[in-house]
Amino acid sequence: MDQNWCIERLAAEKSVQTDYYDAAAAMNRPRRFPSPVNDPDWLEQASSWFVEGRVCLEIGPGRGEFARAAIRRQGLMQRYYIVDMSRVMLDKVMSSLGDRGGVEVNPICSDIDQDPLPAIPDQSVDRAIMINVFQDLQPLKALRHLRRIISPDGLLRANMSDREVRDSLRIDDEFFDRETGSFYMTRPPLEERQQDVSPLGFVNMNGNKVPFYRILKSYYRDQLHEIFQKCGFEIIRETPMILPKKVWMDSVEGRHKDHINEKKRELIEKFGGYPGKLDVIARPV
């Protein structure tokens, strides 16, 4: 079926602006992201994997669920860099960490699309993770910055939206562009303070212009291998993820009328959760 809407962009490059996450962080009663950090089983195995490193890095901690779990576990971790482009988000995480045991935590407010993270020495990071962040990045820029700082035996883990699964299950969001695999999100983080967040552009539909605030891009597995390889990484593991039904239903996606339709309900019942993501581990080559 032909698409009956088209996109008008204002900001050229970004998939989301910092003020979106500043507003998300400033909510008094924050809504959960539909993230594996809210799945206790995934959190346990991913944080155990992470603290096998002495020097660890997390990009995009959100509200710090993973950071708190990693510090509690500690393992071999001695230094923990936490990078976020939103100062408000980063401050919230830092103030929520509590006792850090023997871990030295270094917050860095930075956009990894733009900033090569000069405070982190070359080849120094053993474990790096970005959870529900890949969709917001310009991966060819961000991954090159990460390549410089990851140690030769280090590993990078990231999850992303799997376009193969989206295509085969025909997961439909209201403004999902099948040509590019991009979903245009028209919901601001905080309806009542919509004016605080700059739109990236507008969805034009039947003469109406609706602002959109994020572009969430999904990737085919071949595309991911190519992107990682161009940036000096090899993907050594890719695991399909299912976000458990309870986690998805409790998240802002499950609770928002635009995001839950009959088709999604059926899929979530069939798989016991939301199936559209891939958990990738890569090593530098």
**Where along the sequence are the contacts to ligand SAM (CB under 6 A)?**
21, 33, 35, 37, 59-62, 83-86, 89, 111-113, 131-133, 136-137
Least CB distance to ligand SAM at residue 70 (A): 12
Least CB distance to ligand SAM at residue 33 (A): 4
Q: Give the residue with the Cβ less far from ligand SAM, 189 or 284.
A: 189
Coil, strand or helix: which one is 117?
Answer: coil
C-alpha pair distances (Å), 159 with each of 52, 88, 118, 166, 214: 19, 23, 25, 15, 18
Least CB distance to ligand SAM at residue 115 (A): 8
Least CB distance to ligand SAM at residue 48 (A): 17
C-alpha pair distances (Å), 230 with each of 139, 144, 235, 270: 10, 9, 12, 37
Burial of residue 206 (CB within 10 Å: 0-12, 13-18, 19+) is: exposed
Give first-to-last CA distance, the chain, whole Å. 43
Size (the chain), residues: 285
Q: Give the residue with the Cβ less far from ligand SAM, 11 or 285.
A: 11
CA angle 220, 222, 228 (to 5 degrees): 105
Q: Give the residue with the Cβ less far from ligand SAM, 56 or 112.
A: 112
Least CB distance to ligand SAM at residue 111 (A): 4
